[in-house]
Amino acid sequence: MATRRLTSTGSRLTVLIVVVIGMALLTGPVASPRAKGARAPAPSAPTARTDGPQPVAPLAVPASLVDPELDLRAGPVPVALELQLPSLGVRASVAGVGITANDVMDAPMGPAKDPVWQQAFWYRGGAVPGALSNALIAGHISGPGGRPAVFAQIDRLGPGDSIVVRDTRSGLDVRFSVTNSETYSLDEAADPAVLSRIYGAGPVAGTRPEPSADGLSHLTLITCAGRFRNGTHDHRLVVYATRTG
């Protein structure tokens, strides 16, 4: 998965150099809870036509997933999310990851039987899945000895396939539909335009996630692809999805 070498200055992140490491990942700001206002009294007479399109209520977004004071350099933390890929029969717990002491995005690994290989990783520097921005979830394609890992088959996802991110605290299901997938060489994955598409404009520029240009909620899945050489795979597979109502 494509990752970036980062450094932090105060609360901002500054991109120093793009790096690529095998089986790594990257996404998510905290969404504010919806305000609870008192019910307004009913008007005594209609003030607008009621036979036209009615306003659509904003879609719910998972509440805060991590402590807002949690340093991006802190290690992986469990978050109350479950990633579901129904067409592949995948249900995976999710960890929130930041950057390591070496200024690269964290890529948790472990022994062959460690459950980390079947876990998904949400980048805490990006958006919460469902927000009107871009969230990124990554996972390993394989573990020690070449054993299939959680994202071993995401190359089978096609347009229209469903991706569900469940808030395990509330049972809220945030649903996405796959739009397309792309495979990038390491050089292509290091291109700023590609990075912005994968991670969103904010994190790539070293700032907080920015609203998406089209006003929609986007989710990106990323894993390794291609041949394994020099300690990493030589391509990255990226699946793009948009939230559905």
Q: pLDDT of 209-245, one tens digit each?
A: 999 999 999 999 999 999 888 778 889 999 999 999 7
d(CA 101, CA 135): 23
Alpha-carbon gap, residue 3 to 26, rounded angstroms: 7
Residue 111 DSSP code = S
CATH architecture for the domain at 2-29+70-243: Beta Barrel (2.40)
For residues 88 and 91, what is the distance between their CA atoms, to the nearest angstrom?
9
Calculate mean pLDDT across residues 49-70: 74
Model confidence at 157, pLDDT cuts 50, 70, 90, reads very high
> What is the model's pTM?
0.78
Kind and range of the H or E run holding 192:
helix 192-199
Which pLDDT tens digit goes with each residue over 109-143? 999 999 999 999 999 999 999 999 999 999 999 99
Q: What is the pLDDT of residues 183-218, one digit of tens each?
A: 999 999 989 999 999 989 888 887 889 999 999 999
Task: Decide: helix, strand or coil at residue 89.
Answer: coil
